[in-house]
Amino acid sequence: MIKKIIAVLLLAPALAFAAGSDVPLDRAPINPNDMPSLQRGAALFVNYCLNCHSANYMRYNRLTDLGLNEKEILDNFVARFSGGKVGDLMKITMDLEDAKTWFGAAPPDLTVIARSRSSHAGSGADWLYTYMRGFYRDGSRPTGWNNVAFPNVGMPHVLWGLQGEQELKPAQRRAEGYMATVEKPVLTKPGKLSPLEYDRAVADLVNYLVYMAEPAAQSRKTIGMLVLAFLTGLIFLVYAMKKSYWKDVH
């Protein structure tokens, strides 16, 4: 399992760069300490993403980190969508060969997608936030959808019912000191959510994907700060001991 994770981390950035575009990435307004946001993001992930995308290196019971107890996880996530156990991995039942037929390629595992999509253009969170807000109608594509962050993507817009439908429209964008005309997705058919509400929902989803890519990230950072504080205090103690030891030496 560890070898598979390492392989994904090594190969995915190159694939992401190759499949990406030169569209500027929007900064993802996420907060890894916002538990309600993470809970909403987890619900969106299970409801909309887990039907096709797996998270084979994430267990449902890790959602206890987000303030949920095992009964809430079982009732609202596991039993409702997979019928398994709280300790199960977030796997899907869709056959990979069927997925290749339907989408042209099997949907990738999303466990570490937020890390693998990081590049010189921005963080993986920025890429995902831009991507999930960048779908537009394209009749030339098999699914009827395209994406500004991932041109000719095989994935349909699974959140279109929430966002609505966008179409490419000419727009002005500053590039290298001058204004350039580019095509930008513009909402033409509203969905269930307002544009602001949809952006917040996407931010919640991205927040969860970032958490899932490294569930221990916040603990790691906290432990790191404590270690640095300890070492700083130790330096002063060692210096004081050194001065006391050598005070009578001339």
- C-beta of residue 157 within 8 angstroms of C-beta of residue 167: no
The reply to whether the predicted model has a pTM over 0.85 is: no
Residue 178 has a pLDDT of 64
Residue 177 has a pLDDT of 66
> Using CA atoms in the order 210, 214, 216, 219, what is the torsion angle rounded to 10 degrees?
-50
Residue 177 Rama label (left phi>0; alpha psi -120 to 50; beta): left
d(CA 212, CA 224): 20
Query: pLDDT 10s digit of each residue in the chain, 250 long?
Result: 454 444 443 344 444 433 445 688 999 999 999 999 999 999 999 999 998 899 999 999 999 999 999 999 998 888 766 678 899 999 888 888 887 888 778 889 999 999 999 888 889 999 999 999 999 999 999 999 999 999 999 899 999 999 999 999 887 666 666 666 778 899 999 999 999 999 999 999 999 999 999 998 778 888 989 999 999 999 989 988 888 888 777 5
Of 202, 170, 193, the residue nearest 183 (C-alpha): 170
